[in-house]
């Protein structure tokens, strides 16, 4: 079987209100992903469209977007695992290519969240959990991750200041990311002094809703070598699903889906956490990044805060993480997020990062979580 590579990667600017239709939004990412490739849309065998439903009035977006991008009559599929939809799309694309069904697949993630009010968006996200036993009682995304934060504080002594230092780092890098929603550096005092959303999480501990799109062009190895000078190889894939209800979780100090997905990806790649040069993790909240450090083996349980305290996850640290600003600065257009993370790692491994290039990066990792830890995808890429 041929190896599978990423030939192109793109994303739109993430914004609070894009002002265009979803088809136009997706074109922005598709256009960037195709730049410099020695192919046209006619060479794309299939498309996978990824988003969370109910944010846009379009009932079936896959056909609409494939038509607008002139990819018909090639097949188009719709994939959804809430916030991890486009990394799930990458997994599906890899499988289609490995199976020999397709040679080149476009994975397009998007979300246009500005058509809903904040209250409506929170209600939609809440329904990403169990709609009988949990979401009706107020288990929104911030509330769920606040429970993880409280559990981590109770067990390991984690402080609100340590959480805030994650946002300090990510705002530092987000300030120089031209694709980010928020391009402003924040001080520790500004973060700690922001309004409480769900204690202990404050406004600046939380990512924001956004409009945006991403696109990843996946190709069979021999094809990828012919259409791009620097193919980025997919060497590890892991995926897992935890219980829908948080009351069914074994622990609230780590995400089991991420832990399991990480183990699978490391095993498939034949490497360990110590071999990762740069990582993108799902920092929908500041506590989420701390949990990711520990779930992925960058730090032992309870010791993740040491990495941020010692600035080891900055671009010049031993384990650079989210040096594009992460979700906290870029914003979180649900279906586009995983693809955006993948794009960042592709650019890092090609030496094309515009925010903060990690010197000599050869192996990168993407950690993308759906819901409040329901779905977990870990992808490992190599130059």
Closest CA to 113 of 331, 282, 326, 344: 331
Place of tokens 């030496």: 351
Q: Alpha carbon of 29 to those of 14, 107, 127: distances in Å?
A: 11, 10, 28
Give Cα 119 to chain centroid, integer Å.
23
- Phi and psi (nearest 5°) for 48? -120, 120
Q: Alpha carbon of 99 to those of 92, 93, 94, 220, 353: distances in Å?
A: 10, 10, 8, 10, 32
Closest CA to 291 of 153, 195, 86, 189: 153
Q: Which residues contact 312 (CB under 8 A, 6 or more apart)?
A: 306, 318, 319
Q: Alpha carbon of 181 to those of 184, 329, 371: distances in Å?
A: 9, 6, 21
The 8-class DSSP code of residue 357 comes to P
215 among known catalytic residues: no
Q: Which residues contact 299 (CB under 8 A, 6 or more apart)?
A: 293, 306, 307
Beta bridge partners of 377: 239, 368
Catalytic residue, chosen from 152, 332, 347, 367, is: 332
Catalytic residue, chosen from 83, 206, 207, 257, is: 83
Beta bridge partners of 9: 216
367 among known catalytic residues: no
Burial string for 151-184 (b: 16+ CB within 10 Å, else e) reads: bbbeebebebebbbbbbbbbbbbbbbbebbbbee
Q: Which residues contact 251 (CB under 8 A, 6 or more apart)?
A: 151
Cβ atoms of 280 and 321 within 8 Å: the answer is: yes
Residues annotated catalytic, as ranges: 83, 332
């Amino acid at each position: 079987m041929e190896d599978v590579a990423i030939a192109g990667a793109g994303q739109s600017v993430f914004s609070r209100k894009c002002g265009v239709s979803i088809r136009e939004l997706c074109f922005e990412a598709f256009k960037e992903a195709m730049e410099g490739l020695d192919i046209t849309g006619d060479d794309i065998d299939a498309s996978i469209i990824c988003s969370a439903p109910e944010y846009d009035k379009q009932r079936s977006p896959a056909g609409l977007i494939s038509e607008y991008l002139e990819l018909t009559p090639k097949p188009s599929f719709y994939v959804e695992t809430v916030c991890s939809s486009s990394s799930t799309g990458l997994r599906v694309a890899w499988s289609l290519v490995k199976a020999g069904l397709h040679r080149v697949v476009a994975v397009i993630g998007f979300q246009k969240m500005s058509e809903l009010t904040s209250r409506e968006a929170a209600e939609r996200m809440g329904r990403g959990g169990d709609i009988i036993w949990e979401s009706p009682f107020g288990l929104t995304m911030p509330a769920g991750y606040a429970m993880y934060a409280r559990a981590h504080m109770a067990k390991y002594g984690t402080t609100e200041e340590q959480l805030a230092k994650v946002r300090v780092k990510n705002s530092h890098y987000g300030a120089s990311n031209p694709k980010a929603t928020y391009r402003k550096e924040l001080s520790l005092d500004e973060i700690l002094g922001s309004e409480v959303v769900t204690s202990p999480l404050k406004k600046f501990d939380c990512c924001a809703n956004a409009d945006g799109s991403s696109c990843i062009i996946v190709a069979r190895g021999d094809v990828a070598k012919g259409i791009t000078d620097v193919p980025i190889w997919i060497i590890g894939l892991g995926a897992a699903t935890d219980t829908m209800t948080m009351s069914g979780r074994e622990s609230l100090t780590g995400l089991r889906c991420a832990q399991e997905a990480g183990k699978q990806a490391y095993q498939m790649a034949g490497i360990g956490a110590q071999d990762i040069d740069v990582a993108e993790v799902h920092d929908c909240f500041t506590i989420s990044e701390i949990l990711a450090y520990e779930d992925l083996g960058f730090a032992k349980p309870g010791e993740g805060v040491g990495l941020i305290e010692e600035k080891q996850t900055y671009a010049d640290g031993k384990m650079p993480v989210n040096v594009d600003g992460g979700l906290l600065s870029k914003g979180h257009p649900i279906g586009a997020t995983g693809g955006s993370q993948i794009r960042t790692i592709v650019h890092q491994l090609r030496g094309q990062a515009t925010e903060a290039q990690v010197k000599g990066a050869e192996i990168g990792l993407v950690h993308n979580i759906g819901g409040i830890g329901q779905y977990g995808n870990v992808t490992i890429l190599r130059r």
